[in-house]
Each structure stands twice: as C-alpha cells, then as structure tokens.
Structure 1
Amino acid sequence: MDVLTLQLRTRLIKAGLQIILLMNLTSYLWPRETALEEIARTSYDFIIVGGGTAGSILANRLTEDGNYQVLLIEAGGDPPLESIYPGTFNYLPNSQYDWNFTTINDGYTAQEHKNKVLELTSGRMLGGSSSLGLHFYNRGNPKDYDTWAHILKDETWNYKNLLPYFKRSESLEDEAILDSHNAIYHGTKGNVGLTKQHNKISHKYLKAFKEAGHNILMDTNGFHTMGYFEPILMIKNGYRQSMAYAYLSPAKNRENLQVLKETEVIKINFEGKKAVGITAVKNDELITIKAKREIIITAGAIKSPHLLMLSGIGPKDHIESHGIPLKANLPVGKNYQDHVSVILAHKLNMKSKFSSADDPHNFPWPIVAGNIALNKVQSYPDYQTINYVIPSDSDAILTLCSTVYSFNDDLCQSLYNLTKDSETLLTKIILSHPKSRGHVLLKNNDYKVSPIIISGFFNHFEDMDNMIEYIQDFIQVSKTKMFEHYNGELVHPNLAECRNIPVDRSAYWKSYILAMMGSNHDFSSTCAMGSVVDGRLKVYGIEGLRVVDASVIPIITSGNTQTAVIAIAEKGADMILEDSRKQY
C-alpha cells in the first residue's frame, strides 16, 4: 500500500463514521445536556470547566452525596462510537473530537513532520484525552511523586499517600497480579476497568530483553518498576475505559449534576479577588453563570493556562501586552513539560498474522514496554520504551506513521517499504525526565485563536546527549539470539538529514533524533503546584478558584500523565469537599 491510498481510506472511514454518528448509538451512555432555561434558574455550588479526565472524575465525586449542585461545562460533545472501541483510536486525531493543537515551527525539531510542527492531540469531548488516547495505564515511578512532595514540602503528595487514590479509582481484572505480592498496590472496586495485556507473541521479545540484561516484570505499578513487561490497559470487556465511561456514565442520572456540551468557557468572572462565575459561548451567544463556592478549571495543560491568561491571571507583562486587566501575576503557561519520543524500527525475517488486529474490542497489536536505567542498580528509569509488534501482513506502520504521528508522506512510505512483509518491532524511545521546558502563550486576546505552544524539546543540551545514549543502549537487543535467529535488523529510513553520516557516529543519531522525534502527548506543568497553585490546588492570590488537571504537575512523571491525573483528581475531590465542609 502507498501512503496516499492509506490517507484516502482513512478519510473515507471517517466520513462513514460521521454518518453513523447521526444514529446516536452511544448517546444513552452520557449525561443529557441541560437546557439553558434550567441553567438560568439553578444555583450552583461548583462549576467545573472542562469535561475531560479530571473534570469527569470531579463531576462524579462532587455529586455523590447529593449535597452539592454541580455544573460541568465541556467545549466538545459526546464521545463517538470510534471512541468506545480500543481498536479504532486512529480515527480520532485530526477530527472534530481533537482540539488539533500544534506547536510552532521552531526551525529545529519536527522538520520531518507535516507542516514542520508537532500535532498535539488533545480530546475535545466528554472524557477529553482519555476518550482518544492509547489506553496505557502507567503511574510512573514512586520517586516521581516523592519529588512532588519534596518541592511542595507536603508529604500528602508522596507516592505512599497517593496510593489510596490510585487504588480507589481502579477495577483491575488480572488473576496473576491479584494473586501476587503486587495485589496490595491495586484496587478492584473502582470506576476504571483495567486489564493486563497477555499475548504469546510478546514472549519472544520479553525473552530477548531478558537476554539483553533486563528484568522481566508482571506489573510496574507498585514500588518496583524497572524492567520490561506487558502493559496494563484502560480496557475492560472490550471497551475503552475513558473517564467519561468510567465516571460520567454512572452519574448521568443524578439530579444534582447538570451538563453543558459544545459550550466554551472564555472568561472567569471576579468580584475583587474572588472568582464568582464564568462567561461562556453557546451557539454563538454569550452566557454568564455564577457559582456559590468554587470555579474548578479542568481544561488540561494547554486550555487551562489559556483560559487563566484570558481572564487576567498570568505573567504581568504578557497579560497586559494583550490589553487584558491583570488579576494575578503568576507564571501561568511557563514550565511546559512533555515526554519527547523517538521512533525506531527493527524488522525480523518472519511472516506473521495476528487475529487480535481484526477485532475492534482489542488493542490491535501486542505491546512490550520497558522502564530502563543505564545504571542497573538505579531504582528509577532514565528512559521508557513502548514497543508495538506489527505483523508482516499489516499496513499499521503507515497508519501510525502518517495518521497518528503525522510524519511526512515520503518518510512514512520509506519506513513502510523497508519493513513490509516482515514482522516489525516499532519502538518509541521516551525520555523519562526531560530537562527541556516550553511555554504556552497567548497569541492575542481572542478566545477563538489557539494559544502559541512552544514545545522546548531539546532546548537543554543534556536531553539530546541522553537520548543518543538511550538509543544506543536500546538497540543492543538486536544482538540477542532471537534477533539473530530471525535476522533482525534496525531499519534506517531515507532521511536527508542523515545522508553521508556514518551510522556509528553521534552526529548521525542527533540528525536521526531531530527527524524521527515527536510528542508522547503527556503535556503538563503549565499551572504548576508551588508556583501557580498551592498544595490544595488553589490559585495563589485568588479566592474560589482551583485548577485540577495535568497542568498542576510540578515535574512530569516517568509514566503516562493521564494515570497521574486520575490520582490528582481523586485527591482534589477530597480536598474540595473537605474545604467546603469547613466553610459552611
């Protein structure tokens, strides 16, 4: 297959899915939208801005006891059918269910991507990015959370004290883990269904990584995280466990939960230094809604700082340069962090066909992941790897390269041509602890204009040096018996940046990294605890306003951000309820 045919097929399938959308096949799962007339006559205790991962959790928890009236406002609508099935995730990026954010073209990174920018897929629907992401459940390393506690001088944010919130959210179904010593780190009665991937096809790769000197683990969500493993996925009974499915659906009939969809909040309203309500746009009309207790911003690491800055909370010079009256001079939008990843591919001389790839209820390919440190006695990872095992009869390389990672057509075609008819291990090498930092900035004071996003990738020299070391460490697996048996070899796509540079030179790998890099879509830290919000997630200097999402993370975890946000939201709900009981 060629990349243009693949893109045409994808567009046709998306068009077909739009027709299916008219049948409202999934609408029964979600809360109904509240009429504006009912909104106007209702008095709300809490307004939650953003119905994504954190917003869905808070909407459930704050309405559980029936004592508080809650309004959830989401800019998008209901998740579509393709969001429900794990095997159809690739039809959601670059659609109406995606904010379609991009970084700026910095002239250095992403030069082999379409338009020389990184596409920052971010969910615009109930459940947010949990409704379109890749299902991985990976908390990271305990040291990540202990570092948060150290920064905040608040031990309630360490891993030991966050563990009950992880457990409370989980409904793990895996006999092997639950019969092991790791059972104490998991919950079985929570909202989010979890299953561990078990696939015999992965075994030969796990054996190769073991031969290469790595531990093989059953589970990495306890205190021991170092080694290779088959991941836990947010999938249960063949359905994606988005936070909309896990938290909003069970709460959809609660009388004290009301929901506005396809409604964008454009400003937080204040009386002095107290947040008292919001202004939103619904059907091109402005509406104003008040809250008696708190406004809770859960719009994510890009939209939360965008809204705060439009409302006058942010760096003084930046806010005032756009003609916005300053409410609080805080470093909103700074400290942007994300996991940079680099794509590698090893092809093996073997034919394969996986039946799971044809069933939309399954994640389409076997996965082997790893948390790796160059120092083998180190207890936390330097880098993570996610390895997809792609069968020889599949066009998945094209799908991932073109429609998910958004590389240029020529690069994707080259990679596909080099691997077709061979089983392929497609690998993402992920920098666990990047030192580079980016920014989210206002372009102007118009809410319709997306913010400027500067990824900052590789603006700290150590990140490039480290990534070269990590790639060279990883590719040692090609020297194992399994790879040698199947004539496994690292594939080098046709990259203009790398021509005439010997493969064994650091200069080659630097050029390769800049060409084959991308975002792991773990953006975070733009309203960080300790600088924008305090340890109870309250915005400094403003009464009645909190932020509860990935933007409050002070230092990015070595796992996937969404898993961390689940615990943040569960803890945030407890803090909000506790503070509310003290006030009245």
Structure 2
Amino acid sequence: MSITTVVGTAIKTASVLLGVGIGKITIIPVLIAALAYFNYDLMDPENHPRVTKQLRKEYDFVVIGGGSAGSVLANRLTENPNWNVLLLEAGGHETEITDVPILSLYLHKSKLDWKYRTQPQDTACQAMIDKRCCWTRGKVLGGSSVLNTLLYIRGNRRDFDEWKSFGNPGWGYEDVLPYFKKSQDQRNPYLARNTRYHGTGGYLTVQNSPYVTPLGVAFLQAGEEMGYDICDINGEQQTGFAFFQFTMRRGARCSTAKAFVRPIQLRKNFHLSLWSHVTRVLIDPQSRKTYGVEFIRDGRKEVVSVKKEVILSAGAINSPQLLMLSGVGPYVHLKELGIPVIEDSPGVGQNLQDHIAVGGLVFPIDYKISIVMNRMVNINSALRYAITEDGPLTSSIGLEAVGFISTKYANQTDDWPDIEFMLTSSSTNSDGGSHIKNAHCLTDDFYNEIFSKINNQDVFGVFPMMLRPKSRGYIRLKSKKPLDVPLLYHNYLTHPHDVAVLREGVKAAIAFGETNSMKRFGSRFHSKPLPNCKHIPLYTDEYWNCVVRQYTMTIYHMSGTAKMGPSDDPMAVVNPELRVYGVEGLRVIDASIMPTITSGNINAPVIMIAEKGADMIKERWM
C-alpha cells in the first residue's frame, strides 16, 4: 500500500466521520495516513470485532448497548461457553481518529455522537447556543469510552459506603474494590506495586500519559503550596493532587471496545450486531416476564427472543428511555403518551445527576510550552506518534494533573472533598475558537468577546468540577415514537448549595493560579468580565454566582436515572442485584443505577458496576 493511497483514503475517512467537506480537512488525514502506514497490522479492518450477519432467533442473554458497561458484560457473560449472548449497539466501529487522545474534542458532534441537547433553562448554560447544554454521548461500540478524555478515577470510599447505607448491601467500598482491580492492568510500576488498591493483568490498560509539559509538575507543586498532599487519588487517600491516570495503551485510547470486546470476537457464543437501534424491550403484560427485544437494523424491524435475561446497558439517557418505551415508568407520563403501562415505576428518568464545572478560567503564561493545537498537531508530531507512540498527540487535550480539594462547605478533617480541579496545559482558546468552542456549544458572540484576543496563546486552564450536586434533573419521552429524541432537563444549579460550592471552587482556582509555582511561568488570570455579569461588581460573591451560570460545562457524567435501592424506596427502579422491580428477566447495568453520583469522573465506576453485575448474573444462573 503506497502512502499516496493511504492519504487519499484517510481524507475520505476524516471527511465522513467529522461530517464536513473534504476541503475543510487539514492535518487529520495526514495523521491517519501515518498511523495506517506505520501500523498497518493494527489498522487492518479484520482487527475490528466481527459483526454477526445471521442472528439466532433466541439467545440466553441480550445486552442492549455496547458502551462501557455493555462491553464488559459481553465479555464476562460469554466466559460461560454454554450461554449464547447477543450485544446490540446503535453505532458502528471505532476509527483511527478515536485512538488519538489529543483529538477527543474533534469527535463531539461527529457521527459517533448521539448529539443530545438539553431543554433551555435559565439556571445554567447561558453562554451556550439557545441556552442549551450539549450532551455528548458515544454512539459507537465502546460508547462514551471512545469519545471521553480517558480519565480513570474511581471515586471516594465514602461514595460507595453511602450507597450501602441507603439499603444496598454488597455495594460498600470494600465490596466494590475487588471489581475495580479485576478490570485493571495498571502500567505505572509505582502504583502497580500497591496491590491493595491496584490490579495488573486485567483487560483495561491504565497508564500515565507519555507526554507531560513543564506545567504538569508545576501543577503538583502548586497543590503542595496550597497545603495538599501529592497522592494516589485512586488509592488510600483521595484529597490531594496527582498526575491523571488514563485508560490508555501505548499512547492510544484504550476504550472498553478495545479492552473487552476485541479479545472475545472469536468466541462462538458471542454475537455482535452493530447499527442496531433498539426500540423496545418485549415484556408480557400478564406475567410481566421479559421475552425479547425489538430493534431496527438495515432499515428493518427485527425481533430476537431471550431465554434468561435482557440487560439494559444503554446509558443514563437511553436506558430510562427504553424502559419507558417498554411500559416501565411513571404511570401518568406513559398514559399521556399512549404507552401501555406494565409497571408503574415513578423513579424511571428521575434523579438525574451530572458533574458540572466552570469553563473559561484561563491563565495566560509567558512560555511556549502549553498545548496549542496548531503548533502541536502537525506532520512531525503525527509521524512521531505513529512511529514511537509518544509525543504531544498522546496528550488528552492537555489534561495533566488533578486536584481534589475541600471548600468551606466540606468537612476539612474528612477525606471527602467537594471540588475536583481538572488541570490542563490548554484551555478554550487553544485551538483558535474552532473545535473546543463547537464541542462546548458556545455562542460566537460569547467566545469572541471573551477569548478572541488570546486565540492560540499559551495558557493553562483550571476547571473546578463540583463533585456531589444536590440538584436533580429528569428525562421525559417526547412521544411514544422510539426514534424521537427524549426531553432532557438538567436542572443544574437549582439548589443553592451547588451554586455556593461551585463559586468557592472558582475562587480556589484563581488562588491556584496565584501560587508561586504558577507565577514562575508568568501566570495571570484572564479577567475579562462575562457579558451577562458586567452589571455586578467584579469578583464579589454575586458576580461569581452569575459566572457559574454562564459557561457551565457538563463533564458528561449523566447518571442516576434508574437508581438502585431497597424495595421500600418508592423511587428505586432496580434492587441491589440490579433487577428491575416488577419485571422478571430485566436488569439495568450502567450509570443509571447510581443512587448518588460518585466523587470523580465516572467511567471507572461504570466499568466496576458492570463487572459486579456480571458476577450477580452468573450467581443467579450458574
């Protein structure tokens, strides 16, 4: 294969994936070409999991959703050679672009994204187009683990102990820790030797980024200046600062599809159906027993029967949507839409939680060391990445270090911080107002007023993320048509506690930029007043309260919409074994089941939930 042929193919691939004309594709096809040319064996289409053309009429288990949870379940359930398992996924395969950590934001609004947008609300996202937050969700095998920023954070011990205290035995920290370790192949030798908290030899590769700017070390030093320890935030203590741990393998993304599905593609009891949009779970209204799944593939409606269980792993938006379309949900809502009610379950679609951060806290510096996209993404870095698997393209859009801190609203003597600092050697302006602005759905007017004068300048960013919001959103069906997008109500910052905590997080972020460790680089806060907040005296609590409602960033951690709880909890949708109340043979296993969101990025907890859920299924049927 000649490099000319590879480049031509790469241009077409990038154009289709990103949904733009060929003339707008720049360095990306060169990068794809380099990857394909130097790693042809890895890019061979045969390396993708094979799609099953002729499905069986009946399976023991059908898993709906091939994302972070569904990929794990497909792997673990097919370990039993006597069980036939079908994995249904609405999207297709990963691509060469998805492998490259620095390009994750290029995937937002691509054909791999469900492209969800929330309903307009005045409490948050005021700087976004139509005041609607953009909720990127992966429509691809591997789900959102293909589009995320690869951050591996387990959460806090107290999160899981709290789940247990709600009446969910078996979900305390010591109960779930073995399942975190089971998945993990920790490649950092200093962490791997701590076998109390880390595992090796699992399917999911976790490592440090091969590329760190001088800002990375400075971030940790600044954290020490603020009085915090440098620690393993996935170990004994969460409060403190550390380099991020990433779901990365040899400098490339290690999605759950790569980790859990590719190794099992030759198992004879595993069938995979991609581009298969599930429309309904089939439940007998008399016996309330699940007997099959209805889905659309190749433009045709198909049905498969199930002998044992259907497992919903479609995520915190699609799982409650499918429950409601199947007759499980709030009685009044389903009746209004003309959906026959099989089980009145008022908690379906309720209890929606998400982590939000304040975007745009930018600190210009005096040295050319940060991740500026037009400087980092070029032919030299593409070749370096393809040949040696390192260099700036292995950077996850500049994310280098993390800090877990406690504001005045948290117990300072307890290791249960309420703010996470995501510390980046880049920020909103680092690509000149193209993909980052687009991914965050910022209006042109807002971006131009705040960031245009520092386009492509060297900066670092602090994104303070609130860990345990008290505000709760909800999801409703738009209609009973399964292809209609559901109505999403975020309800961000409707609880005054959330406003206060996030405001204090912003103050702490600015203080972080004032430390001596950061001042060495010439750090200064980009203090351009926000358009909708100019009428308020600068830097007062009232001003910051206004700020947090403008550039309100989702961190894409939707969860809690089919929560786990005991039988006496009227809002619980599933029991502690993740079985749906009132329906036989149906489970939900994904972020939907979280009673409360965990303190940190949720991809690792979702994988843990699937590992534990798979063992529960095995215990029931073996």
TM-score by length of 2: 0.86
Counterpart mapping for 1:28-39 below 5 A: 28-35=46-53, 38-39=54-55
How far the C-alpha of 1:244 sits from its partner, in A, is: 0.3
Counterpart mapping for 1:163-312 below 5 A: 163-179=177-193, 182-197=194-209, 199=212, 201=214, 202-217=216-231, 219-271=232-284, 272-312=287-327
How far the C-alpha of 1:210 sits from its partner, in A, is: 1.2
8 Å Cα contact 1:397-1:415 kept in structure 2: no
Indicate the residue corresponding to 1:381 in structure 2: 417
8 Å Cα contact 1:26-1:81 kept in structure 2: no
How far the C-alpha of 1:146 sits from its partner, in A, is: 0.7
Aligned residue pairs, count: 568
Letter in 2 for 1:496: P
Q: Structure 1 residue aligned with 2:514, among 461, 475, 479?
A: 479
8 Å Cα contact 1:225-1:380 kept in structure 2: yes
Coordinate RMSD, CA, aligned? 2.7
Indicate the residue corresponding to 2:368 in structure 1: 351
Moved more, 508-517 or 105-114: 105-114
Instruction: Tell me how far apart the structure 2 counterparts of residues 11 and 415 of structure 1 sit (CA, whole Å).
Output: 29
What whole-Å deviation, never above 9, does each CA across 1:325-345 have from its counterpart, x for those lacking one?
A: 001111200000001111211
Instruction: Tell me how far apart the structure 1 counterparts of residues 255 and 273 of structure 2 sit (CA, whole Å).
Output: 19
SS at match of 1:88: helix
Indicate the residue corresponding to 2:403 in structure 1: 370
8 Å Cα contact 1:71-1:259 kept in structure 2: yes
How far the C-alpha of 1:421 sits from its partner, in A, is: 6.6
Indicate the residue corresponding to 1:3 in structure 2: none
Instruction: Tell me how far apart the structure 1 counterparts of residues 149 and 97 of structure 2 sit (CA, whole Å).
Output: 13
Instruction: Tell me how far apart the structure 1 counterparts of residues 370 and 494 of structure 2 sit (CA, whole Å).
Output: 42
Q: Structure 1 residue aligned with 2:98, among 83, 101, 104?
A: 83
Instruction: Tell me how far apart the structure 2 counterparts of residues 443 and 389 of structure 1 sit (CA, whole Å).
Output: 41
8 Å Cα contact 1:338-1:520 kept in structure 2: yes
How far the C-alpha of 1:516 sits from its partner, in A, is: 1.4
SS at match of 2:425: strand
Indicate the residue corresponding to 2:437 in structure 1: 402
Instruction: Tell me how far apart the structure 2 counterparts of residues 545 and 534 of structure 1 sit (CA, whole Å).
Output: 11
SS at match of 1:185: coil
Distance 1:15 1:364, change over 3 A: closer
Letter in 1 for 2:173: Y
How far the C-alpha of 1:320 sits from its partner, in A, is: 0.8
Instruction: Tell me how far apart the structure 2 counterparts of residues 337 and 414 of structure 1 sit (CA, whole Å).
Output: 31
How far the C-alpha of 1:560 sits from its partner, in A, is: 1.1
Distance 1:487 1:200, change over 3 A: closer
Letter in 2 for 1:368: A
Tell me, yes or no, if structure 1 residue 336 matches structure 2 residue 352. Answer: yes
Instruction: Tell me how far apart the structure 2 counterparts of residues 10 and 176 of structure 1 sit (CA, whole Å).
Output: 46
Indicate the residue corresponding to 2:12 in structure 1: none
Instruction: Tell me how far apart the structure 1 counterparts of residues 141 and 52 of structure 2 sit (CA, whole Å).
Output: 15
8 Å Cα contact 1:391-1:423 kept in structure 2: no
Instruction: Tell me how far apart the structure 1 counterparts of residues 19 and 296 of structure 2 sit (CA, whole Å).
Output: 34
Instruction: Tell me how far apart the structure 2 counterparts of residues 547 and 493 of structure 1 sit (CA, whole Å).
Output: 46
What whole-Å deviation, never above 9, does each CA across 1:76-114 have from its counterpart, x for those lacking one?
A: 111122112222212211011101111001133212112
Instruction: Tell me how far apart the structure 1 counterparts of residues 461 and 122 of structure 2 sit (CA, whole Å).
Output: 27
Q: Structure 1 residue aligned with 2:489, among 432, 438, 454?
A: 454
Indicate the residue corresponding to 1:105 in structure 2: 120
Instruction: Tell me how far apart the structure 1 counterparts of residues 434 and 324 of structure 2 sit (CA, whole Å).
Output: 37
8 Å Cα contact 2:471-2:498 kept in structure 1: yes
Instruction: Tell me how far apart the structure 2 counterparts of residues 391 and 479 of structure 1 sit (CA, whole Å).
Output: 17
What whole-Å deviation, never above 9, does each CA across 1:145-199 have from its counterpart, x for those lacking one?
A: 1111111241x111111111100100010122234xx442111110001102363
Instruction: Tell me how far apart the structure 2 counterparts of residues 361 and 487 of structure 1 sit (CA, whole Å).
Output: 26
Contiguous gaps of at least 5 residues in structure 2: 1-17, 386-392, 566-571
TM-score by length of 1: 0.92
Distance 1:421 1:579, change over 3 A: closer
Moved more, 226-235 or 196-205: 196-205
How far the C-alpha of 1:349 sits from its partner, in A, is: 2.8
Counterpart mapping for 1:29-68 below 5 A: 29-35=47-53, 38-40=54-56, 42-68=57-83
How far the C-alpha of 1:26 sits from its partner, in A, is: 5.5
Q: Structure 2 residue aligned with 1:550, among 582, 588, 591?
A: 591
Tell me, yes or no, if structure 1 residue 117 matches structure 2 residue 129. Answer: no
Percent of paired sites with the same residue: 32
8 Å Cα contact 1:340-1:517 kept in structure 2: yes
Moved more, 533-542 or 373-382: 373-382
How far the C-alpha of 1:528 sits from its partner, in A, is: 0.4
SS at match of 2:241: strand
Contiguous gaps of at least 5 residues in structure 1: 1-5
Distance 1:421 1:351, change over 3 A: farther
Counterpart mapping for 1:532-543 below 5 A: 532-543=573-584
How far the C-alpha of 1:422 sits from its partner, in A, is: 4.7
8 Å Cα contact 2:339-2:480 kept in structure 1: yes
8 Å Cα contact 2:123-2:493 kept in structure 1: no
Distance 1:482 1:18, change over 3 A: closer
How far the C-alpha of 1:418 sits from its partner, in A, is: 4.5
8 Å Cα contact 1:366-1:388 kept in structure 2: yes
Instruction: Tell me how far apart the structure 2 counterparts of residues 252 and 285 of structure 1 sit (CA, whole Å).
Output: 25
Instruction: Tell me how far apart the structure 2 counterparts of residues 29 and 264 of structure 1 sit (CA, whole Å).
Output: 24
SS at match of 1:286: strand
Moved more, 420-429 or 450-459: 420-429
Tell me, yes or no, if structure 1 residue 131 matches structure 2 residue 131. Answer: no
Letter in 1 for 2:47: L
Distance 1:213 1:399, change over 3 A: farther
How far the C-alpha of 1:561 sits from its partner, in A, is: 1.4
Moved more, 379-388 or 205-214: 205-214
8 Å Cα contact 2:219-2:423 kept in structure 1: no
Instruction: Tell me how far apart the structure 2 counterparts of residues 7 and 494 of structure 1 sit (CA, whole Å).
Output: 35
Letter in 1 for 2:52: T
Letter in 1 for 2:589: V
SS at match of 1:568: helix
Instruction: Tell me how far apart the structure 2 counterparts of residues 18 and 306 of structure 1 sit (CA, whole Å).
Output: 40
What whole-Å deviation, never above 9, does each CA across 1:28-57 have from its counterpart, x for those lacking one?
A: 23321112xx324x5310011111111110
8 Å Cα contact 2:78-2:84 kept in structure 1: yes
Distance 1:18 1:173, change over 3 A: closer
8 Å Cα contact 1:437-1:455 kept in structure 2: yes
Indicate the residue corresponding to 1:313 in structure 2: 328
